[in-house]
Structure 1
Amino acid sequence: MREFSVSEKNESERLNKYLSHLLPNASMGFIYKMLRKKNITLNGKKASGNELLKPGDEVRLFFSDETYEKFSKKKADVGGNADIKVLYEDDDIIAVHKPAGLLSQSDKKGGDCVNARILAYLSANGKMPDDFTPSIANRLDRNTSGIVLAGKTYKGSRFLSDAIQSRDVVKTYYCIADGWFERKGFYRCYHHINSDKTVSISDIKHEGDKEAVTEFFPEETS
């Protein structure tokens, strides 16, 4: 039997999400099956998985050592390239520099990306939590360099998500332009989702399109 005490960093996280971090190699179907059979309990009682956790809650896994090892993920299991420039880090969040040419998250082919490097960095430095899988909160295009934020804990991930959605995080982009800009201006376009799920950008608005407005101004000329 394994027992875990919920910390403040996981406050208000749903039990099923918490369990998916404890058992990253288990399907959600397996987790719900274990909940139904009371092989996983919350505060000694049967749980549905939809409960919102509170600090001090006790989660018990009535698994054999072999089963637990099969579905859990040890810190030592996270390897790979840990070469990432850390700009800021505390107990809950981390900000890193993404160089141009590196994906923020891996594509269908897998491979190197900022998210994987953050996990490798945390693992190599003994900072990988047992009850949460850190993940980036914002993405930049492959050929764009800049700051990528990631939550190291559920608390940090929720904080970043709320800050981005409420637009408390201000995004500023710099680019080198071929031409002459004498004054600031605006560029307005529309994002359209095609029938094949790809996205196209147009100056003409169609039904259901989302508007995107970019303000630009010259920072320096030469």
Structure 2
Amino acid sequence: MRRSSSPSPRASRERAALVRRGPLVIEDDYDGEFRYDRKLVGAVQALAPERVVYIGTASKTLAPALRLAWLVLPRELVDPVLAAMTAAGWRPPVLDQLVLADMIDSGAYDRHARRSRAAYRGRRDQLLGALPEGLRPAGISAGLHLVLPLPEGVSEQQVVAAARRRSLTVDGLGRQWIRAGEDRPQGLVLGYGTPARHAFAPTVDILTRTLRDVGLR
């Protein structure tokens, strides 16, 4: 499940040195399988396994309802974490774990991840192709969402309200800030993983109509 490291030897040495000098690092790799325009990035945990807690999940590749995730811990943390899980009464579903393990061993998980990556890349490209030319989305090379900065004079509240009138829910970038403020950049967070296959194109069409409603063409 962990992806092998691919940076240059010099970059690997520099990253490893930074990790070893600093505090414990938590590497939350919740959607690392979905990179579209570049090679998969290796896990930092491989560079300093005793200084990094690696967290992975099947919620994006399979389904959130499975509630399957994993930790790769430094040796000194294994027993304390197991004790804390036992004390909390947390019991992962054994059958689901066995099924996932079989998928990994048989190669079915990797095949599924590759198919999903191709499908989500197609969705991303379709969404990018529908956006007004003047907008410059960010975060498009990986993941299941992109950030769409809004030009001056257009607020995210305007777009969210216009989308709601068309029965479309979009998130404003302001919800992601720890501290809200008027000086924060305005933008949208657009996920493209949720709509069903038959509903994706109509949803993109509603989004483009919404953007036209607020003067973005």
Common topology (TM > 0.5): no
Q: Which TM-score band applies after superposition, normalised by the shorter structure?
A: under 0.3
More strand by share: 1
Larger radius of gyration: 1
TM score, norm. by length of structure 1: 0.26
TM-score by length of 2: 0.26
**Greater helix proportion:** 2
